[in-house]
Amino acid sequence: MTRPSRGLTEGPITPTLIKFALPLLITISLHLIVGTWNAAWVSQVLGPNELIAVVNANVLSTIVMALLSGFGAAAGVFVGQSIGADDLHMMRKVVGTSTTLAVVAGIAIAALGIFGVEFIVDLLRMPAEVRASAITYFRIICLSMPTLFVFVFTTIILRSSGDAKTPSLFSAIWIGLGFILSPVLLTGAFGLPALGIAGVAIGGWLANAIALLVLVLYIYAKNLPLALRGENLRYLRPDPTLLKEMVKRAIPSAAESLIINGSYFLLLSLVNAYGVATASAYSAAAQLWGYVQAPAMAMIGAMSAMAAQNIGAKRWQRVNQVALHGSLLGFSSTATMSLLVFALGSIPLQIFLPRGGEEIQIAMEINKIVLWCWPMIAISFGLFAVVRGNGAMLPPAIIFAISLLGLRYPFADQLQSVLGSAAIWWSFPLGTATSALLAFMYFRWGKWRQRDLLKTLRTDHEAEPGTTGN
């Protein structure tokens, strides 16, 4: 088996972070581009109202994904620390348990999402004009969950092992195929049936399934650390001790994702109540926010992998430097993107909305307020990525619960009588500023450094001859 790299524990901090984050940034950017591409096709071919269905359904699918995202985060931490400690036996156990978990959970959540979608759509107070489209789109997205979960788990583990290029390469294949398939199936080009909004979802599903198949073949052809074969296939049977520790750390992390995305769900119900024009404007503005956050999201991925490996290697001074340098890079890059989107004004919004219409003006008013909150969220996510590198999953979830559910949503809901829809937009900077302050306080004074994550997983009977360090 090809030995994983421990290069994240050596060398200068900032260049290493940038080098590791760059492939992930390319991947995220490609995802955003294909998302914009699909949204533009939906808006231009089916009308801007259908964009509401896509954005709302994407929020719902993100919430479903959040139910297992904690397990992916926990698996990444265990893999990173195992490599930092040069414990390949533990790494193989994490790979096997995670793979089986992703398959089973993907099937279960697909079934849950398919049968519960109508109830969820009604909770969102979806405009009647787009309800049927949203249900169709979301059901197909749910069917893609098994392959999507396995693909996401695999790429998380690869990145945590120090390999940023391989997951980025195959994510690009997934994105490239979706770039072609979704509009073709939407419009019925080349003699294929025109499937409408369903074609967009089916195109993305086919692209993901093909990319996963090619990725698995590549992993085994290159004999990467994830290639379990022979006697190592026994690791596909979930290890009870490891699964227990993953659950302990995954539940808070999954809760954090549910809190973040659930708060968007609640805000969407407030936005949708203002009618199609406001909902369309919000949907278009939200498409641009992904580009604003992309550099910080890529940096967070690099910080998490780098922190976990250095914690496993007991290099705590370097961990602190990762937090400082990564947070500064995330903040500055996000602020730059916010300024760029603000300076462009209505130009990018015209991709999704009719030129000179009411929706454009509403979207610009939203951006004037919301754009400036994203640099603050970059700090929160960056610091939380570091503390999660040592298994501290619950405190970030509690902080987001306080700032988003305890403060942001009540502010948006209760002050509508005074500020109207602006109360929703002002709730964004209020929530992100609170999150950033509490994140810094926990990073500085919390007890997350006192954990010994790998020690809890190692027992005498696991110390097999020739496994640790081989």
pLDDT band at 343 (very low <50, low <70, confident <90, very high): very high
Position 427 scores a pLDDT of: 94
**171-175, 254-258, 308-312, range with greatest mean pLDDT:** 171-175
pLDDT band at 38 (very low <50, low <70, confident <90, very high): confident
Percent of the chain exceeding pLDDT 90 equals 19
Name the nearest CA neighbour of 125 among 261, 260, 259, 268: 268
- Give the tens place of pLDDT for each residue, 362-402: 999 999 999 999 999 899 989 998 988 777 778 888 999 99
**79-83, 255-259, 288-292, range with greatest mean pLDDT:** 288-292
For the cut 90, the answer to whether the pLDDT of residue 85 exceeds it is: no
Name the nearest CA neighbour of 299 among 371, 370, 383: 383
Lowest mean pLDDT among 88-97, 277-286, 381-390: 88-97
SS3 348: helix
CB 91, CB 162: distance < 8 Å: no
How many whole angstroms separate alpha carbon 57 and alpha carbon 114? Answer: 12
Q: What is the mean pLDDT of residues 131-153?
A: 82
Position 454 scores a pLDDT of: 57
pLDDT band at 78 (very low <50, low <70, confident <90, very high): confident
Position 141 scores a pLDDT of: 81
Residue with tokens 């073949």: 217
∠ CA 185-112-124 to the nearest 5 degrees?
Answer: 75
pLDDT band at 214 (very low <50, low <70, confident <90, very high): very high
Give me the sign of the Cα torsion angle 326, 329, 335, 336. Answer: negative
Count the domains in the chain.
Answer: 1
How many whole angstroms separate alpha carbon 195 and alpha carbon 201? Answer: 10
- Separate counts of helices (H) and strands (E) for the chain: 16, 0
* Bigger pLDDT: 469 vs 399: 399
In a domain, 274, yes or no: yes
- Give the tens place of pLDDT for each residue, 403-418: 998 999 999 999 998 9
162 phi and psi angles, rounded to 5 deg: 100, 5
Instruction: Provide the 8-state DSSP code for 470.
Output: -
Name the nearest CA neighbour of 64 among 13, 12, 116: 116
Alpha helices in 85-130 (DSSP H): 88-123
How many whole angstroms separate alpha carbon 84 and alpha carbon 317? Answer: 15
Position 365 scores a pLDDT of: 93
Task: Tell me the two tokens of residue 128.
Answer: 């009647």
For the cut 80, the answer to whether the pLDDT of residue 120 exceeds it is: no
**44-58, 228-242, 277-291, 444-458, range with greatest mean pLDDT:** 277-291
- Angle at which helix 48-84 crosses helix 88-123, to 10 degrees, equals 160
In a domain, 51, yes or no: yes
How many whole angstroms separate alpha carbon 32 and alpha carbon 16? Answer: 24
∠ CA 365-413-416 to the nearest 5 degrees?
Answer: 55
Task: Tell me the two tokens of residue 83.
Answer: 């490599």
In a domain, 5, yes or no: no
pLDDT band at 126 (very low <50, low <70, confident <90, very high): confident
Is-above-0.75 flag for pTM? no
Give me the sign of the Cα torsion angle 160, 163, 167, 168. Answer: positive
pLDDT band at 42 (very low <50, low <70, confident <90, very high): confident
Position 277 scores a pLDDT of: 85
CB 395, CB 336: distance < 8 Å: no
Position 460 scores a pLDDT of: 38
Q: How many CB atoms lie within 10 A of CB 392?
A: 24
- Give the tens place of pLDDT for each residue, 253-274: 677 777 887 787 788 888 888 8
In a domain, 105, yes or no: yes
* Bigger pLDDT: 113 vs 166: 166
SS3 236: helix
pLDDT band at 60 (very low <50, low <70, confident <90, very high): low
* Bigger pLDDT: 460 vs 377: 377
Residue type, 469: G
Residue type, 110: A
Largest separation between any pair of C-alpha atoms in the chain: 71
Position 29 scores a pLDDT of: 78
CB 396, CB 441: distance < 8 Å: no
In a domain, 468, yes or no: no
How many whole angstroms separate alpha carbon 133 and alpha carbon 49? Answer: 10
Position 200 scores a pLDDT of: 85
Residue type, 197: I
Position 66 scores a pLDDT of: 61
In a domain, 395, yes or no: yes
Which residues lie closer than 8 Å to 332 by C-beta, 6 or more apart?
375
Lowest mean pLDDT among 32-36, 317-321, 410-414: 32-36
Average per-residue pLDDT for the chain: 81
In a domain, 465, yes or no: no
For the cut 50, the answer to whether the pLDDT of residue 117 exceeds it is: yes
pLDDT band at 466 (very low <50, low <70, confident <90, very high): very low
CB 53, CB 238: distance < 8 Å: no
pLDDT band at 70 (very low <50, low <70, confident <90, very high): low
Position 61 scores a pLDDT of: 67
Which range marks the domain in which residue 429 is found? 10-447
**239-243, 277-281, 375-379, range with greatest mean pLDDT:** 375-379
How far is the CA of 176 from the CAs of 40, 145, 149, 180, 182, in angstroms?
16, 19, 19, 7, 10
**13-22, 157-166, 204-213, range with greatest mean pLDDT:** 204-213
Name the nearest CA neighbour of 137 among 169, 157, 113: 113
For the cut 70, the answer to whether the pLDDT of residue 189 exceeds it is: yes
Q: What is the mean pLDDT of residues 140-163?
A: 81
In a domain, 223, yes or no: yes
